[in-house]
Amino acid sequence: MSARPAVVLCGPMGSGKSAVGRRLATRLATGFLDSDTEVEETEGRTVAEIFASDGEPRFRDLEHAAVARALTGHDGVLALGGGAVMDARTQEALADYRAAGGVVAYLQVGVRDAMLRIGSAASRPLLAEDPRERWSRLASEREGTYRLVSDLVVVTDRRSPGAVVREIADHLSGAEEWRATTR
């Protein structure tokens, strides 16, 4: 199967990728795929279990493979794990996807809202110690890359998933209109 996602969502943990992605998929009448869930289903283990037994490098390899498959085989909304964009291979795959007309939306969020959304860090191996400080450091380290791989930045702080969905859907609608006039 050769397909291309309708839109790819990236951003840090707690930015709303899953909640927004599911609602956006419903609005676009398409499927939803989360790269972390895809890795878990393929491996039969949680992300936390993979980190604990195999380490982060192995998880990142599995994550990249899941993203690469989705970029060529999933035609719905794709939500990437928070660190997926840090892999150079994934950055290259996203660049190819964008060059073919795909749209990547960066869901940006501040630490306050992210911490409220994340809740318990038990299932978040990268936030095991001092979640607030660790989240802030990761978000800061990744900010430039999120922007680099994205066409659209959507601030999700103090916004409902529905409001974020409307903004992305409006952007997608405008992008489709623009493509139609340039053919």
Q: Is 58 marked as binding a ligand?
A: no
**How many CB atoms sit inside 10 A of residue 151's CB?**
14
Cα(83)–Cα(85) distance, rounded to whole angstroms? 6
**Is position 54 annotated in a ligand binding site?**
no
- Strands of the sheet containing 32-34, edge to edge, are 32-34, 77-79, 7-10, 104-108, 152-155
Does 98 carry a binding-site annotation? no
Fill in the amino acid letter for 3: A
19 is in an annotated binding site: yes
Q: Was 45 annotated as part of a binding site?
A: no
Residue 82 marked as a ligand binder? yes
Q: Is 140 annotated as a binding residue?
A: no
SS3 33: strand
Q: Is 142 annotated among the ligand-binding residues?
A: yes
- Coil vs helix vs strand at 101: coil
Tokens of 136: 């802030």
Cβ–Cβ under 8 Å, residues 8 and 171: no
**Can you tell me whether residue 150 is helix, strand or coil?**
coil
120 is in an annotated binding site: no
- The rounded distance, in Å, linking the Cα atoms of 7 and 75 is 9
Q: Annotated binding site for ATP, which residues?
A: 14-19, 124, 159
Q: Annotated binding site for substrate, which residues?
A: 36, 60, 82, 142
Q: Annotated binding site, which residues?
A: 14-19, 36, 60, 82, 124, 142, 159
Q: Annotated binding site for Mg(2+), which residues?
A: 18
